[in-house]
Amino acid sequence: MCISGNVHKLQRRGYRFSLQGVTEAEEIQKHLFPLHRRCKDLEAKDLPRLRKHLVDGLMRMVQEAVSHSSVLQMPHNDAIVSKLYASVSHILTRLSQQFLDGATMFRGELDDSEQRLDLVLNVMDYMRDSRISNTILERHDRLEMFVQRLKAIKIVFETSSAFLRLAKTEVGGIHGHVTAIQIKQIYDEFQEQLVTFDKCPYDVLEPDAQEFEKDMEKFRRKMGELDGRLGSVIKGCILNCSSVKSMTKVLQVYEFLMRRPAIREVALSICEKSILDTARQEMDSLLRKFLEDATRDSAAHLSVYQTIPPTSRVIQWVWDIRGQLNEILKAVNNVSHFFADDVFNQWSDSIPDLLKDKLHQPLIIRDKDAIAVNFDPKLETVIREVKHLIRLRSQSCIPEDALSFYQKRDQLSDQRILLKSIVDCYNELRAELLPIEGPLVQPMLHKMDVLLLPGETSVIWSDSGVSEYLQRVEVSSQAIHGQVQAAKKNLREIQDLCYAWGNNEPLLCEMTLPLDLATVKTGESLVDDKLKPMIMEDGKRIHSLLQVRFIIVQ
């Protein structure tokens, strides 16, 4: 009977749970029906037309379904809500794969495929930002993997664009034929790498296809090798030129390749030095010729413009010299942005690591009993660099990290001034402390050390609560500084009282021993009348000063 009763209870409980589950499922289905119908009607062709509106619409429908359904708001259904957002990500991924068509995206005009890829990347990035702002899903899921795959394919397209332009360039001059052969060989090797993605047996747009990662790694290694060889070819072309004008023309022809870091690293610095040296030599030669000929009878000795009258001949000759100098300066000016961009890019690339390193240092650094503000001078240099670069270039060119740091310059300046005041106050107390004063003010200095400890260990410049921390320390620091000064002042007053006793004249002077009875009586009266009141008064004063010291220490 007992067993059958328990079975009956379990059956009723199971029936109740099943009924509750069916009811919840019906309510969820009712609220998700509009979303299901919308997703069913979506096609890949809708992606270019809807773009961000598609993401907003799908996310809004999910949010409305959750907000209107009391069942979906229950804690035990959080997994269902997460799956809803994941489903939206899967839908967008599927539409993007259909729109891009991985089987044909590396065929035909790659520029068209790259434009379609950029469109999808914009939609996917917007979806990622929308999803992250809702803090529903973890970032490392299928959507994140798909976006990373698209960015890898974007690198292939950008490389292809540069190498396809390379095939259309022509190089003249004495070494032009050899250079053309080298470039053609490099281009053919690139084409072999590109065919790998076109004829691969897997779908390049499938995030789970691990074969793509292996092929992409081979592609990167091969492109690094080809970039190095291209850099050497470009460097050889420029160094073989005989004039600044021809050097700068070659550099302008290959400007699109100079944007590639590996090529820029191999060729740019040497080419820059060669161009500037050649320009200096040509200008020196022209100026020397001008100065030498200008010291003589110019019209009589000029070997040019023999059909022109003497005065006009000199003027024409001066104009030609000036024109040649201007041509040299113009040629250098045409490629000066290469060198300026190279310096700027090196600075920009160093900013993230520099800020990450220097802003994650504690506010204070300690050397024995002295402390100092731990604000690296390189951070101050970054602020000054950004200030001038905004003037020399546009604000949009400045790295986002550097610009964000620059916008906090006033706040950082206030924090440094406040911290400098705290540091100076602490160091002043330590420096002026006498050995005899140590035991007296040590408890207060210990309080100060406890307040400063977070600034030496855990509070860093990038924290959001730095200003509040420094303000708290400043208030306590000023209070402790005042207490220490008061304690030291009291100690000096006690010392002065004690020194005064030793400086007082003896009550009985020039007396010979043994003393007679009258002298002893006189001494007793002097002690009662003079010494005892003075000792009592000074003792009370010392006692009151010590009481103040105890109150300060507490």
Distances (CA, A) of 402 to 99, 252, 265, 373: 38, 30, 24, 22
Strand pairing partners for 365? 372
pLDDT digits (tens, 9 = 90+) for 317-369: 788 888 888 888 888 887 777 778 878 888 998 998 999 899 999 999 988 77
Residue 50 and residue 42: Cα distance in Å, rounded?
10
User: Following DSSP, what letter does each residue of 37-106 receive, concatenated?
Assistant: HHHHH--TTHHHHHTHHHHHHHHHHHHHHHHH-TTTTSGGGHHHHHHHHHHHHHHHHHHHHHHH-TTTTT
Name the pTM for this structure: 0.56
Q: Give residue 375's pLDDT band: very low, low, confident or very high (50, 70, 90).
A: very high
- Please state the three-class secondary structure of 221-238 as a single string: HHHHHHHHHHHHHHHHHH
Give the three-class secondary structure for 161.
helix
pLDDT digits (tens, 9 = 90+) for 382-403: 999 999 999 888 888 888 899 9
- Please state the three-class secondary structure of 472-537 as a single string: HHHHHHHHHHHHHHHHHHHHHHHHHHHHHHHHCCCCCCCCCCCCCHHHHHHHHHHHHHHHHHHHHH
DSSP state of 168: T
Decide if pLDDT at 18 tops 60. Answer: no
Residue 343, token pair as written in the block? 């310096």
Residue 433 and residue 552: Cα distance in Å, rounded?
17
Determine the average pLDDT of the residues in 2-26.
53
The answer to whether the CB of 231 falls within 8 A of the CB of 180 is no
The pLDDT value recorded for residue 417 is 92
The pLDDT value recorded for residue 552 is 46
Residue with tokens 């291209």: 230
The pLDDT value recorded for residue 553 is 47
Decide if pLDDT at 138 tops 60. Answer: no
Task: Quote the mean pLDDT of the chain.
Answer: 75
Residue 217, token pair as written in the block? 């790694």
Q: Give residue 210's pLDDT band: very low, low, confident or very high (50, 70, 90).
A: confident
Residue 169 and residue 23: Cα distance in Å, rounded?
71
